[in-house]
Amino acid sequence: MASKEQSKCAVIGASGYAGEELVRLLLAHPLAELVQVTSRQSVGKRLDQVFPRFAHQRKTLIFTDSDSESVLGNANIVFLALPHGVSAERAKAFLDGGVRVIDLSADFRLGNAETYREFYAKDHPAPDLLKRAVYGLPEVYHQKIADADLVACPGCYPTSILLPLLPLIREKLIDPTDITVASLSGVTGAGRKVEADYLFAECNESARPYGVPKHRHLSEIEQEVRRVTKTELVIQFVPHLVPMNRGIISTIFLRPAADVDEKETEAVYNDAYRTEPFVRLLGSRLPDTKNVIGTNFIDISWKLDPRTGRLIVMSAIDNLVKGTSGQAIQCLNLMCGYPETAGLL
Amino acid sequence: MASKEQSKCAVIGASGYAGEELVRLLLAHPLAELVQVTSRQSVGKRLDQVFPRFAHQRKTLIFTDSDSESVLGNANIVFLALPHGVSAERAKAFLDGGVRVIDLSADFRLGNAETYREFYAKDHPAPDLLKRAVYGLPEVYHQKIADADLVACPGCYPTSILLPLLPLIREKLIDPTDITVASLSGVTGAGRKVEADYLFAECNESARPYGVPKHRHLSEIEQEVRRVTKTELVIQFVPHLVPMNRGIISTIFLRPAADVDEKETEAVYNDAYRTEPFVRLLGSRLPDTKNVIGTNFIDISWKLDPRTGRLIVMSAIDNLVKGTSGQAIQCLNLMCGYPETAGLL
Amino acid sequence: MASKEQSKCAVIGASGYAGEELVRLLLAHPLAELVQVTSRQSVGKRLDQVFPRFAHQRKTLIFTDSDSESVLGNANIVFLALPHGVSAERAKAFLDGGVRVIDLSADFRLGNAETYREFYAKDHPAPDLLKRAVYGLPEVYHQKIADADLVACPGCYPTSILLPLLPLIREKLIDPTDITVASLSGVTGAGRKVEADYLFAECNESARPYGVPKHRHLSEIEQEVRRVTKTELVIQFVPHLVPMNRGIISTIFLRPAADVDEKETEAVYNDAYRTEPFVRLLGSRLPDTKNVIGTNFIDISWKLDPRTGRLIVMSAIDNLVKGTSGQAIQCLNLMCGYPETAGLL
Amino acid sequence: MASKEQSKCAVIGASGYAGEELVRLLLAHPLAELVQVTSRQSVGKRLDQVFPRFAHQRKTLIFTDSDSESVLGNANIVFLALPHGVSAERAKAFLDGGVRVIDLSADFRLGNAETYREFYAKDHPAPDLLKRAVYGLPEVYHQKIADADLVACPGCYPTSILLPLLPLIREKLIDPTDITVASLSGVTGAGRKVEADYLFAECNESARPYGVPKHRHLSEIEQEVRRVTKTELVIQFVPHLVPMNRGIISTIFLRPAADVDEKETEAVYNDAYRTEPFVRLLGSRLPDTKNVIGTNFIDISWKLDPRTGRLIVMSAIDNLVKGTSGQAIQCLNLMCGYPETAGLL
């Protein structure tokens, strides 16, 4: 389905952090063209009025309303940067109009409408589309994404957890029923929510766990792990909010199979990711969010703790790039037959 | 041994963050008097030249060298805010001079010189003093601290982990062999180390694990847990550095005994801490470092995860107050027969 | 009017940053008692539910509505921490009920209803009260505050600017018609406003001027300068928002009279402030907000620039303490005949 | 002198923040090739060992010592990212070897060795080279830079001040003898100096003026202004350090000539900068460092204050990009005949 002609892209719901980052990446993309931005609250405003950082753009984009008619004539790819629940309502019109959809919400990540109801506390608005959607983790679903017309980009935490986890599970290096994850995220992870909890003085000089014990992202993490193990299992996950703009650290505590050591772990990771352009294997050097900020890289580290016998795997990503919009561009590149790194390196 | 007369206190090695915080607390203490501050690098300087925040002090303290002779005549209590290894070398002269010692380093926390060698990679400089030292966790060793002449103040991470952990272990609510801890700390936790790793631009917009897998604080955490269980065990612990000045969050993953629920957990905590002035039991409300900054409180929260069956316990402290210097003042209060909260509320 | 009996204080509109800081200071005050907190949005909630940092308070305060009847029976002092315009509407009922009022809004700072209309773009709701109000800058209006029943606490920028400025103007050391001020403020200066501009990720890694060229605080700065000079004059003032919770730096560029040097400047400051408990004169040592955070001090520095002939005066305060709530407590102390530093050192 | 062949670039002293940013920009440059990095303290280390953010580079660069012989064979352009004083000592050997030099230190910014001695408190190590050097402000010295073999990149503050200032002075819109500047800078502006003043906990929650009253950058600001006015003059300048990694705000208070208004100001700026790719004229919209971080743009705003009659001009840059390394690349582009924006947009 891929073709190398220039794609014409629209970003629906472009006024949040994910939307802004998509705009940044698309404006700099050598092969894709950003032709439309929509946002209910910003209709009629110029792009640089909403995002002054884009003040140098010679081309003037004006925010339109997100009705699909106005988009269908312009774009052949739409990115949905809409709230959960809204994406699913809007996707069908775009698909029916022959436009391929890259969704950044959680709406199409779960293959199962019941799990959606359990974790998102409402009925799925378009359950018939779930089968059609591909989970947009390029390092796992490379070819499926290339062929898809509906891609569900993973959540930021799931990206940071699944990429280090899946090769170890696939190669049976660890016990998939004993997985504990502590993650740390910068504040943009909450989106541009105008709520007191996310005011500067409420987040600065503050660190706090949240979403305990059943954060919504668990649903997709468990789904993807189960797709490998073919068994039921649950994962322990506690995220924390820390005072920085961007970045996620995930520290994953694992029970390795007998005799698994750091060398074997390294071999498995090398096999899985040696040729992946956005995975950097640090070995025993520990990750730091500042090394990935603004990039689409995931840094992965591992250490065996000889005292406890646990394998500790750690990763770092930029939640807005590899965790959201950069990964969406990576999916775009696959879908359009572009080099996977186009606009991302 | 306690007496209610005013104590005359000296802070040895007062130029670091712990020393500065001790000075702040002692200057405001209603019953203790700060009579001397020492620091090799600041000899001859006025207190406010080294710490401009104390510029209003009418009383002029001048930094002296840390030789014990000059201190012995002035003070009847000394706080050692010296690097590990140095404290142990200095403590004896003070004790021999009849002065009670509150040590903030790690030198007297471990009852066992071998464990010290294992974790601190050198021979203990004063192993004969180890038996004499009391571990300065007031909520556990209240009376022993009152009677001690050598108190070893716990590390900041151990304080944040042991206080939530010990009641559950004592009452056998959890399996002590399956304990996993992820902690987050502000940058003052590293001390006032003039190293590139702690420069502003290296820590700001950065989150990173460190000390994996065998952080030194594990030695005292395990020692205190083993004192309850009387069995060998190891604990899993990964600390992270996050961009804030102060504060520690510890998130502790536990395997509860059969039928333990949140209510029983609450009952155990209430029994242990109801009358403790510095322990605040939040129940299922999650902790946030910003609620404890500048205070000697520890906030403790807990949730049972019905999906994994794990009990998740979380705590927040100010690493420089309850985690270091405030707890040292709390010990001082016990040692001198003052109200436990004197100078701390 | 002052009496040394314990005052019973209510904080009206206690849910903002100034209100929270007042609550903190009043709970720790040795002579004043906090008897009531009100907040329309928090009616019925316990103090610690709204402000978890106060979770240790044994005494349970429940937020009530701000109707004056319920307050009049309880309190003999009310602090109004209400938005501009609202304070003026509420003050009369309290005053008529025999309660003394300390207002933290801008409503009673200006002696002139026309200037209020010019800078606040609405008619003053209670112009008859303006004459009754005393400008609550204790270092200037010590006795008037002691006798007042309506005190208008100065704004945070005016506090940081007027205290360094007024002695120089009074002693004619500088030209009052050539004053230029650049100020830097932490984000709590904007109040707990739930607006996108004050979200963490909009303020972090951001510095920006705002309120150019006619910030509202100019009105009270100019009023107080004119009260000394008895002449018309305007002042140049540009504030900047910088990514920290608290703190203000004001850098003031002045044209000194002939032959004025640093020594004479120092002498004038010494005369003005030597006995003031909250003014710290640093001389040529430059100020830093971190030295005043959490305190009621103002640090003042000065340098003569021999190249330009300008006198550069710089100050640092904590905007929520000396800039707002601490200064309000300082006024309370004067009004009640308490030691001026009660509850503040 | 310019030729469009690919340049081979070396970065001498690549281990500081400016050097790291140069490396980042050169690695992504479409026409220049980074062939060598040197650093005394990192000799023998791989680039990604010193800067983990470059871990994905396939090409392995190893730090060498900075002796010119090893560089001369490899590179035809060298960037000197060395301390003041050291650059001047090293430049001659490179120039004599036929290599063009782009110096990021202050050593060649001043045309006059006496002014250098006055501001840098030492004799200039290579005064004979001063005449040969071109001040690397591309918007002013476009053609001279293109032809130069020794370019002295401006300081970060001077860049942020001169670009808004010079057109107004050239067109006589303002009085050049009455210029007052307050600037705010992120902490990387101090370089990667391992000193206590720049530790995280000393800068976080801190704002402070410094370098009062005679910051070294004044020398080049005044030099460039005098080149226009042909008269002696001094400028008032106070920089402040604020807790962010990157970014400078300069707020400039000016005395406009009679009848100058915002419209005329705009016309002058449009004439000066309409075609400049890195100058964004915001008009009365105020600048914010977050809109320029990571970019080579300077944002310029202006407001006339009708009360004081002053013209207030404000600018924002990223101190490490337009303020240092990005501007150096812009110079490289001019010197090599590349598009001015190559590698920078």
Specify which residues C32 forms β-bridges with: C7
pLDDT above 80 (res D2): no
Using CB atoms within 10 Å of the CB of residue C86, give its burial: 0 to 12 exposed, 13 to 18 middle, 19+ buried: middle
Chains that touch C (3 or more CB pairs under 8 A): A, B, D
Q: Which two tokens mark B174?
A: 């959890």
Question: In this structure, which amino acid lies at residue B286?
Answer: L
Contacting C with CB below 8 Å, chain A residues are 17, 186-188, 192-196, 198-205, 243-245
Q: Residues of C with catalytic annotation?
A: 156
Q: How would DSSP label each residue in C94-163?
A: HHHTT-EEEE-SSTTT-S-HHHHHHHHSS--S-GGGGGG-EE--HHHHHHHHHH-SEEEPPPHHHHHHHH
Question: Contact A299/D55, CB-based, under 8 Å?
Answer: yes
In D, minimum Cα distance to A28 occurs at D345
In eight-state DSSP terms, residue D325 is: I
The shortest C-alpha distance from C300 to chain A (Å) reads: 26
> Which range of residues forms the domain containing residue C149?
7-153+323-336
The phi-psi region of residue B337 (left if phi > 0; otherwise alpha if psi is between -120 and 50; otherwise beta) is left
Ordered alpha helix ranges (H), chain D: 17-27, 47-50, 68-72, 86-96, 113-120, 138-147, 156-170, 200-203, 217-229, 262-273, 326-336
The D279-283 sheet, strands edge to edge? D208-209, D236-241, D174-185, D248-256, D311-317, D298-304, D279-283
Does one domain contain both B132 and B22? Answer: yes
The shortest C-alpha distance from B193 to chain A (Å) reads: 19
* Average pLDDT estimate for A40-60: 90
How far is B183 from B196, CA to CA, in rounded Å?
23
D297, D279 Cβ separation under 8 angstroms: yes
Does one domain contain both D11 and D120? Answer: yes
Question: Contact B286/A246, CB-based, under 8 Å?
Answer: no
Number of Cβ pairs closer than 8 Å across C and D?
153
Ordered alpha helix ranges (H), A171-247: 200-203, 217-229
From chain D, pick out residues whose CB is under 8 angstroms from the CB of B205.
Answer: 245
pLDDT of residue D60: 83
Where is C36: in which H helix or E strand? strand C32-38
pLDDT of residue B60: 83
**pLDDT band of B69, cuts 50, 70, 90:** confident
Closest partner residue to C291 among B52, B285, B290, by Cβ?
B52
C179, C252 Cβ separation under 8 angstroms: yes
Question: Does B344 fall in a domain?
Answer: no
Does one domain contain both B102 and B216? Answer: no
From chain A, pick out residues whose CB is under 8 angstroms from the CB of D277.
Answer: 56
pLDDT of residue A13: 94
pLDDT of residue A2: 43
* Average pLDDT estimate for A92-116: 97
How far is B321 from B246, CA to CA, in rounded Å?
9
Question: Contact D280/A56, CB-based, under 8 Å?
Answer: yes
Does one domain contain both D185 and D261? Answer: yes
In D, minimum Cα distance to A290 occurs at D53
Question: Does D100 fall in a domain?
Answer: yes
The B298-304 sheet, strands edge to edge? B208-209, B236-241, B174-185, B248-256, B311-317, B298-304, B279-283
pLDDT of residue D67: 80
- Which of B65-79, C292-306, D210-224, D311-325 comes out lowest in average pLDDT? B65-79
Question: Contact D308/C209, CB-based, under 8 Å?
Answer: no
Does one domain contain both B47 and B166? Answer: no
Question: Contact B243/D205, CB-based, under 8 Å?
Answer: no
Chains that touch A (3 or more CB pairs under 8 A): B, C, D
**pLDDT band of A66, cuts 50, 70, 90:** confident
Question: Could you give the C-alpha distances from C135 to C32, D106, D284, in angstroms and in order?
Answer: 22, 50, 34
pLDDT in 10s for each residue of chain C, 345 residues: 444 568 999 999 999 999 999 999 999 999 999 999 999 999 999 999 999 999 988 778 999 998 878 899 899 999 999 999 999 999 999 999 999 999 999 999 999 999 999 999 999 999 999 999 999 999 999 999 999 999 999 999 999 999 999 999 999 999 999 999 999 999 999 999 999 999 999 999 999 999 999 999 999 999 999 999 999 999 999 999 999 999 999 999 999 999 999 999 999 999 999 999 999 999 999 999 999 999 999 999 999 999 999 999 999 999 999 999 999 999 999 999 999 999 999
pLDDT above 90 (res D69): no
Beta strands in D186-328 (DSSP E): 208-209, 236-241, 248-256, 279-283, 298-304, 311-317
* Average pLDDT estimate for A190-201: 95
How far is C273 from C281, CA to CA, in rounded Å?
8
Using CB atoms within 10 Å of the CB of residue D63, give its burial: 0 to 12 exposed, 13 to 18 middle, 19+ buried: buried
Reduced to 3 states, what is the DSSP secondary structure of residue A231?
Answer: coil
From chain C, pick out residues whose CB is under 8 angstroms from the CB of A243.
Answer: 200, 204
Q: Which two tokens mark B87?
A: 């404290």
Of the candidates B326, D313, A201, the residue with the CA atom closest to the CA atom of residue C16: A201
How far is C202 from A245, CA to CA, in rounded Å?
9
What ipTM goes with this model?
0.96
How far is C9 from C77, CA to CA, in rounded Å?
5
How far is D311 from D303, CA to CA, in rounded Å?
6
How far is D260 from D167, CA to CA, in rounded Å?
14
Question: Contact B199/D196, CB-based, under 8 Å?
Answer: no
The shortest C-alpha distance from B154 to chain C (Å) reads: 23
Number of Cβ pairs closer than 8 Å across A and B?
153
Return the residue matching tokens 């395997």. Answer: B255
Question: Does C300 fall in a domain?
Answer: yes
The shortest C-alpha distance from D1 to chain C (Å) reads: 41
Does one domain contain both D164 and D310? Answer: yes
* Average pLDDT estimate for B207-215: 97
How far is B235 from B218, CA to CA, in rounded Å?
7
How far is D192 from A283, CA to CA, in rounded Å?
27
From chain B, pick out residues whose CB is under 8 angstroms from the CB of A311.
Answer: none
Question: Does C42 fall in a domain?
Answer: yes
The shortest C-alpha distance from D316 to chain C (Å) reads: 8
The shortest C-alpha distance from C182 to chain D (Å) reads: 7
The shortest C-alpha distance from C108 to chain A (Å) reads: 28
Of the candidates C193, C201, B206, the residue with the CA atom closest to the CA atom of residue A17: C201
How far is C291 from C312, CA to CA, in rounded Å?
20
In A, minimum Cα distance to C15 occurs at A196
Question: Contact A200/C17, CB-based, under 8 Å?
Answer: no
Q: Which two tokens mark C153?
A: 């606490």
Question: Does C342 fall in a domain?
Answer: no
How far is B180 from B152, CA to CA, in rounded Å?
25
Q: Which two tokens mark C78?
A: 């009310």
C79, C21 Cβ separation under 8 angstroms: no
pLDDT of residue D4: 58
Q: What are D96-149's pLDDT values in tens digits?
A: 999 999 999 999 999 999 999 999 999 999 999 999 999 999 999 999 999 999
A300, A324 Cβ separation under 8 angstroms: no
Instruction: Express as a percent the part of chain B with pLDDT over 90.
Output: 94
pLDDT of residue C186: 98
Question: Could you give the C-alpha distances from D103 to A194, D80, D91, D302, in angstroms and in order?
Answer: 45, 5, 8, 32
* Average pLDDT estimate for B229-245: 98
Question: Contact A188/C201, CB-based, under 8 Å?
Answer: yes
Average pLDDT value over all residues in chain A: 96
Instruction: Express as a percent the part of chain D with pLDDT over 70.
Output: 98
How far is D241 from D190, CA to CA, in rounded Å?
9
Q: Which two tokens mark B262?
A: 């949140």
From chain B, pick out residues whose CB is under 8 angstroms from the CB of C299.
Answer: 52, 55
Q: Find how far residue C319's CA is from the centre of its chain.
A: 7
**pLDDT band of A68, cuts 50, 70, 90:** confident
Contacting A with CB below 8 Å, chain C residues are 17, 186-188, 192-196, 198-205, 243-245
Reduced to 3 states, what is the DSSP secondary structure of residue D182?
Answer: strand
Report phi then psi at C199, rounded to 5: -65, 155
Closest partner residue to A192 among C192, C196, C198, by Cβ?
C196
Does one domain contain both A150 and A165? Answer: no
Does one domain contain both B141 and B212? Answer: no
Question: Does B343 fall in a domain?
Answer: no
Question: Could you give the C-alpha distances from A271 to A168, A250, A266, A297, C281, in angstroms and in order?
Answer: 11, 22, 9, 18, 66
pLDDT above 50 (res A1): no
Does one domain contain both D70 and D145? Answer: yes
Of the candidates C184, C268, C168, C243, the residue with the CA atom closest to the CA atom of residue D238: C184
Where is B118: in which H helix or E strand? helix B113-120
How far is D22 from D16, CA to CA, in rounded Å?
10
Q: Which two tokens mark B326?
A: 């405030």
Number of Cβ pairs closer than 8 Å across B and D?
58
pLDDT of residue A4: 58
In eight-state DSSP terms, residue A6 is: P
**pLDDT band of A210, cuts 50, 70, 90:** very high
pLDDT of residue B2: 43
Does one domain contain both A143 and A161? Answer: no
Q: Tell me the CATH number at B204.
A: 3.30.360.10
Does one domain contain both B13 and B124? Answer: yes
Question: Contact A240/B184, CB-based, under 8 Å?
Answer: yes
* Average pLDDT estimate for B252-273: 97
Question: Contact D245/B205, CB-based, under 8 Å?
Answer: yes
How far is A257 from B209, CA to CA, in rounded Å?
24
In D, minimum Cα distance to A292 occurs at D53
Q: Tell me the CATH number at B118.
A: 3.40.50.720
- Give this prediction's pTM: 0.97
Give the pairing of strands D248-256 and D174-185: antiparallel
Closest partner residue to C294 among B280, B291, B294, by Cβ?
B294
Where is A148: in which H helix or E strand? none
* Average pLDDT estimate for B190-216: 96
Domain count, chain D: 2
Using CB atoms within 10 Å of the CB of residue C93, give its burial: 0 to 12 exposed, 13 to 18 middle, 19+ buried: middle
Where is B240: in which H helix or E strand? strand B236-241
pLDDT of residue B1: 41
Does one domain contain both A41 and A54? Answer: yes
Question: Does D44 fall in a domain?
Answer: yes
Q: What are A222-239's pLDDT values in tens digits?
A: 999 999 999 999 999 999
Report chain B's terminal Cα–Cα distance, integer Å.
Answer: 25
How far is B177 from B183, CA to CA, in rounded Å?
19
Question: Does C343 fall in a domain?
Answer: no
In D, minimum Cα distance to B51 occurs at D202
Question: Contact C192/A203, CB-based, under 8 Å?
Answer: no
Question: Contact A307/B251, CB-based, under 8 Å?
Answer: no
